[in-house]
Amino acid sequence: MATYRDVCYDIFTILRGNFDDTEITLNHVLYWVQVYGDRLRIQHDEKIDSGSTISVFNALPVLTEANTGRKYIEIPSGIYDKDGDSGIVYLSYSYSVDPNAFSYVTFSRTQPSYVQRLYWTNDERPAPDNPYFYRIGNRVYLLGLECIDVNFIEAGLKTTLVAEVCDLDDEFVFPPELIPILQRQVLDLGRFVLQIPADRTNDSDYSLQNQEIPKTKIISTASITAPVQQEATNQQEPV
């Protein structure tokens, strides 16, 4: 599997080779790789039914809001903001004494505006065997656990790439077939940044006079579904 170093140094070397006086650093490239990488991963996830982006958190502590008494958990990592809160794949808690037993209750998703309606019928009423969750910001509120003591929740979440990379030799969790597309998008962004003219005269007057405006059209491969068509378009653009 590729590492962050493999992916970032390829891009960084090309940019430094073409623009030897560039002020772009490896940290810039790493940030762009994470941003564009998450964009491609979420597109890939929407087209392919796969668990490749799912991370399981076995023991998220259940907290209680001081002013309302509502139970909730904090989302422990960045997750994809998908329709219907489907970035939260599942929430569950065990009702067995044995923590390793596969006996658990899963939560159903609802919305804050629907909560009151759930209590109108016995079939939908939140209960320990029929719990619900809804998300507000970084908190996930839990319904149906008011009368029982649950200390921990298990969660399956579709997590984003790591926000802070401490070691470039860490594995880059990314579909290998999409790495060339990712590198091309980051290279296009780097070329765009480096071709923007600078105001070289510090006269407090922002002006682009006598500075050449870049003529090259930078094309972003916005979709992962048509790399071949995009490549053909790029070959027709002036260099």
- pTM attached to this predicted model: 0.73
Beta bridge partners of 139: 74, 136
Strand order in the sheet with 63-64: 63-64, 71-74, 139-143, 132-136, 108-109
For residue 225, give every residue at least 6 positions away whose Cβ sits within 8 Å of its Cβ, in sequence order, or none.
Answer: 47
Cα–Cα dist 175/220, whole Å: 19
Cα–Cα dist 152/109, whole Å: 18
Question: Pick the residue with more confidence: 222 or 84?
Answer: 84
The lowest-confidence range among 47-61, 170-184, 206-220 is 206-220
Contact 45, 173 (CB under 8 A): no
Reported as a pLDDT band with limits 50, 70 and 90, residue 133 is very high
Complete DSSP assignment for 42-65? HHHHHHS---TTEEEEEEEEPEE-
Q: What are phi and psi of 94, to 5 degrees?
A: -90, 135
State the average pLDDT for the chain: 80
Any idea where the domains of the chain sit in the sequence? 54-158, 175-196+217-239
DSSP 204: S
Contact 106, 113 (CB under 8 A): no
Residue 148: both structure tokens together? 């029982």
Average pLDDT rounded to a whole number, residues 109-123: 90
Burial of 91 (0-12, 13-18, 19+ CB in 10 A): buried
Cα–Cα dist 198/200, whole Å: 6
Reported as a pLDDT band with limits 50, 70 and 90, residue 101 is low
Residue 71: both structure tokens together? 């139970």
35-50 pLDDT, tens digit each: 999 999 998 888 888 8
pLDDT at 239 over 60: no
Cα–Cα dist 29/183, whole Å: 10
Cα–Cα dist 99/187, whole Å: 48
* Longest Cα–Cα distance in the chain: 77
